[in-house]
Amino acid sequence: MKIMYVITDLHTGGAELQMATLVGHLKDRSQSCHVFTLLSDGSLRDHLGELAVPVYSGGLKKRDLLRAPWKIIYAQMKLVRVVQKQRPSVVHAFLPLATFMGALAGRIARVPLIISSRRALGKHQERHILLRPFDLLANRLSHCVTVNSKAVWEDTIHRDHIDPKKMALIYNGVDSLTFESAQPFRGETRKKLGIKPREKVIIVIANLILYKGHSDLLKAARKVLKHIPKALFLLVGEDRGIGGNLKRISIDFGIASKVRFLGLRDDIPQLLAVSDISVLPSHEEGFSNVILESMAAALPIVATNVGGNSEAVVNGVTGWLVPPKNPDAMAEKIVDLLHDPQKARSWGKQGRKRVNKKFTIERMVQEHIKLYKGID
């Protein structure tokens, strides 16, 4: 097979990482993979280069989507030319706008199988109303629309009125060995990071975006520290414009010395290994890679009960689910796990077992191959 993947950019977001993982494993199976990215930048470009995966660019810059939308037409023309030249058997597109452009190019080039992937709830249609018609057109032009959780499945049907027969559910996958292998170096890594032996580390891995709920986390952190002064909060993720405000909040709350903003990192397995609890305070989620990675690292989870989080976390077995925008509930469950380290360890082990049974990369890859080959 030859598969052409179309995506907005190659930054290290959830959809981008899952696509890159899929591409890498398909390459191992001698499949021909190509990637077209609308924007020219992204740290995953080097990774794909190491895999000898051809990467084509639409030449757009981030601001072009708002300030020079006509450039999208040129990017579309480039995409059509690439698809016509490469003649893939599958075009598989990810994320809003890219799904429409990929599906349109696929139809123009008469590609046998066109797939669009919905990776999150359709809240983007509310934030950017112009994206809704492009989503609807992408659905119509695609032969199949994949989703990564039941929550996204139901949301897509509700918002877009799509025929469920046209949809396929394929959960994200994670490689547990990557996270297990970092565990023996927990003490050494904590020393390098300047974490004291008795400090209890709560990690939050999410780019600094409003809907990821970091302000709720800081409110919860203030309450947690009243009960457990040795708690330390690590906030890992790229600043998408709210980092300065979050730092001011931590100063105003008097907890700045207990909150570390680590920015975008490439050592996530090591950071999870030094942690005791993983928290996801999001107001919305499709299906969280971070939750799977945290479970693979044998960490108990405290996550908001939004989107597909309840499909990964078993409440009271592998972690706690709390209402979104409720710092009090979040703080209560964090304290509960920190006060009962035996339960926290047990739940973490249960989480790892669940990942190894239900959310493996091998399963994710095999389900895509079946889809590409048209096997039921």
**Residue 375 pLDDT:** 53
Question: pLDDT (tens digit, 9 = 90+) per residue, 30-79?
Answer: 999 999 999 977 889 999 999 999 999 999 987 887 788 889 999 999 99
- Of the listed ranges 9-23, 207-221, 343-357, the least confidently predicted one is 9-23
Average pLDDT, integer, range 217-230: 98
- Of the listed ranges 44-48, 252-256, 328-332, 348-352, the least confidently predicted one is 44-48
Mean pLDDT of all residues belonging to the chain: 95
**HSE (side-chain half, CA atoms, 13 Å) at 322:** 25
**Residue 287 pLDDT:** 95
Average pLDDT, integer, range 313-317: 98
Q: Is 132 exposed, middle or buried (0-12, 13-18, 19+ CB in 10 A)?
A: middle
Question: pLDDT (tens digit, 9 = 90+) per residue, 155-191?
Answer: 999 999 999 999 999 999 999 999 999 999 999 999 9
**Residue 127 pLDDT:** 85
**How crowded is residue 185: how many other Cβ atoms within 10 Å of its Cβ?**
14
Strands 90-94 and 231-236: unpaired
Domains of the chain are 2-173+360-373 (3.40.50.2000), 176-358 (3.40.50.2000)
Question: pLDDT (tens digit, 9 = 90+) per residue, 124-152?
Answer: 888 888 899 999 999 999 999 999 999 99
Burial 286-322 (b: 16+ CB within 10 A, else e): bbbbbbbbbbbbbbbbbbbbbbbbbbbbbeeebbbbb
User: Is residue 348 pLDDT above 60, yes or no?
Assistant: yes
User: Is residue 372 pLDDT above 80, yes or no?
Assistant: yes
By the 8 A CB rule, do 338 and 277 touch?
yes
**Residue 102 pLDDT:** 98
Residue spans of alpha helices (H) in 114-213 = 124-127, 131-141, 150-160, 176-180, 186-192
DSSP annotation of 197 reads T
In the chain, the percentage of residues whose pLDDT exceeds 90 is 89
User: Is residue 376 pLDDT above 70, yes or no?
Assistant: no
